[in-house]
C-alpha cells in the first residue's frame, strides 16, 4: 500500500509512519521539516499545507491508496488539502478528536452523538479546538465524498509524546530523591479510573481501518476492558524509572479549594471526580479491530524512549506546553495539606 501522511514526524503521525513501514507499506510524509526528524525509511516531501503551490507539487507525487491527515486543525486549510488531493487517493483518514462532541466530557458520548456546529469553510478564529475539528470532519466528508474516515481520538500516550503529560509524571518520579523530595503528591484517590490509549494502538487501528475500507466516524479511545487507575499509572511510573518516590494521596476536594491548581496540566491526566472524560463508547471501533495494550507497557516504553542514548531525550525534552507541579508549588500544597490535617 502507498500511504501519504500529512504531518508524519511527531507523535501521532510518527506512530502511523512507523507502523506502516513495519507492515511493509510505502510511506510518503508531507511536512515543513521543522517539528522533528522524519522516521527513517519514509519519502519526505517538504512543504506547507497552507500553500496551494506546495499542495499542487505534492499532488504530482501521487497517487496513493490512502491519505492520513494528522496535522489538520482549521476547516478552511483542511479543505484546501482535500481538494488538491481528491483525485490522488482512494481514501482520506482524518485524525479528529473526541472534543468534537459538545457533550464531552460532562456526558458519555457515542459515535452518533451530535457534533459541534461549525462550517466546513470556517477559519482559525471561528471556534475552539473541538469546534474547528468538527468543521474539519465536515469538509473532508463534503469534498472527499464516500471515501472519508474520521477517527475521534481520546487521550493519547506513548513514546515520542510531545504534549507533556506522561513525560511530566515520569520526570517527577525520576527526580525523587535527587533534585526533588521523595514525598510526591498524588491527587485524589488511587482507585480513580482513567482510560488513555497508546498512540501505537491508534496507528495499528488506522491501518486496519484503511484495509477494511471503513468510512464515517469512529471513537478511538481507551476501551472499557483496558481501563486502569491513577494509582496504577503512578506506580507504573515509579517502577519504570526505578524511583524511590513516596506517594502521598491528597484529597481531591481539598485540591479544588487551592488557588491556581491546574487540573489536567499541573496534575497530569487528573481532574476532580464529577466530569467523565473517559466515558466514551468505543464498541464500534472494537468491532472493527481496536485493541489496546496495558497502560504499564505504554509507561515502560515511554520511559525507555526518554532514557535512550544515555538520557538525551530526558535531558532535552521540551513539551508543547508545561505539565506537572513545580517544586515550590508541590511543597506549598503539602504545607497547606499538613496544616489542614493538623487543625
Give residue-wise pLDDT tens across range 6-50.
999 999 999 999 999 999 999 999 999 988 899 999 999 999 999
Phi, psi at 235, each rounded to 5°: -65, -35
Output the pTM of the full model.
0.95
Q: Which neighbouring-strand residues pair with 66?
A: 3
Mean pLDDT, rounded, for 307-314 = 87
The pLDDT score that the predictor gives to residue 276 is 63
pLDDT in tens, 178-233: 999 999 999 999 999 999 999 999 999 999 999 999 999 999 999 999 999 999 99
Give the list of residues 6+ apart from residue 69 with CB closer than 8 angstroms, or none. Answer: 6, 7, 78, 81, 92, 93, 94, 95, 140
Q: Give the mean model confidence (pLDDT) for residues 136-157.
A: 97
End-to-end CA distance of the chain: 67
pLDDT at 282 over 70: yes
- CA–chain centroid gap for 217, Å, is 17
pLDDT exceeds 90 at position 154 = yes
Domains of the chain: 2-153 (3.40.50.720), 161-195+227-275+294-342 (3.90.25.10)
Amino acid at each position: 500500500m502507498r500511504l501519504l501522511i500529512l504531518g508524519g514526524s511527531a507523535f501521532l503521525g510518527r506512530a502511523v509512519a512507523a507502523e506502516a513501514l513495519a507492515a511493509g507499506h510505502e510511506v510518503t510524509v508531507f511536512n515543513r521539516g521543522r517539528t522533528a526528524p522524519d522516521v527513517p525509511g519514509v519519502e519526505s516531501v517538504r512543504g506547507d499545507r497552507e500553500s496551494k503551490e506546495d499542495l499542487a507539487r505534492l499532488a504530482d507525487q501521487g497517487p496513493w491508496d490512502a491519505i492520513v491527515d494528522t496535522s489538520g486543525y482549521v476547516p478552511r486549510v483542511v479543505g484546501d488539502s482535500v481538494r488538491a488531493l481528491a483525485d490522488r487517493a482512494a481514501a482520506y483518514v482524518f485524525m479528529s478528536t473526541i472534543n468534537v462532541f459538545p457533550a464531552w466530557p460532562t456526558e458519555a458520548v457515542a459515535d452518533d452523538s451530535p457534533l459541534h456546529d461549525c462550517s466546513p469553510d470556517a477559519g482559525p478564529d471561528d471556534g475552539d479546538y473541538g469546534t474547528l475539528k468538527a468543521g474539519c470532519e465536515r469538509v473532508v466528508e463534503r469534498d472527499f465524498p464516500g471515501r472519508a474516515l474520521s477517527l475521534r481520538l481520546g487521550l493519547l500516550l506513548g513514546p515520542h509524546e510531545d504534549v507533556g503529560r506522561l513525560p511530566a509524571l515520569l520526570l517527577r518520579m525520576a527526580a525523587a530523591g535527587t533534585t526533588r523530595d521523595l514525598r510526591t503528591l498524588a491527587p485524589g484517590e488511587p482507585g480513580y479510573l482513567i482510560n488513555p490509549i497508546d498512540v501505537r494502538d491508534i496507528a495499528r487501528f488506522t491501518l486496519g481501518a484503511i484495509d477494511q475500507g471503513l468510512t464515517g466516524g469512529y471513537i478511538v479511545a481507551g476501551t472499557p476492558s483496558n481501563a486502569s487507575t491513577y494509582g496504577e499509572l503512578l506506580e507504573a511510573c515509579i517502577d519504570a524509572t526505578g524511583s524511590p518516590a513516596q506517594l502521598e494521596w491528597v484529597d481531591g476536594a481539598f485540591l479544588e479549594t487551592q488557588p491556581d491548581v491546574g487540573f489536567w496540566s499541573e496534575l497530569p491526566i487528573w481532574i476532580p471526580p464529577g466530569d467523565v472524560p473517559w466515558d466514551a463508547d468505543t464498541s464500534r471501533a472494537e468491532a472493527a479491530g481496536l485493541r489496546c495494550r496495558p497502560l504499564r507497557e505504554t509507561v515502560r516504553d515511554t520511559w525507555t524512549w526518554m532514557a535512550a542514548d544515555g538520557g538525551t531525550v530526558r535531558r532535552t525534552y521540551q513539551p508543547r506546553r508545561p505539565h506537572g507541579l513545580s517544586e515550590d508549588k508541590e511543597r506549598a500544597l503539602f504545607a497547606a495539606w499538613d496544616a489542614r490535617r493538623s487543625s
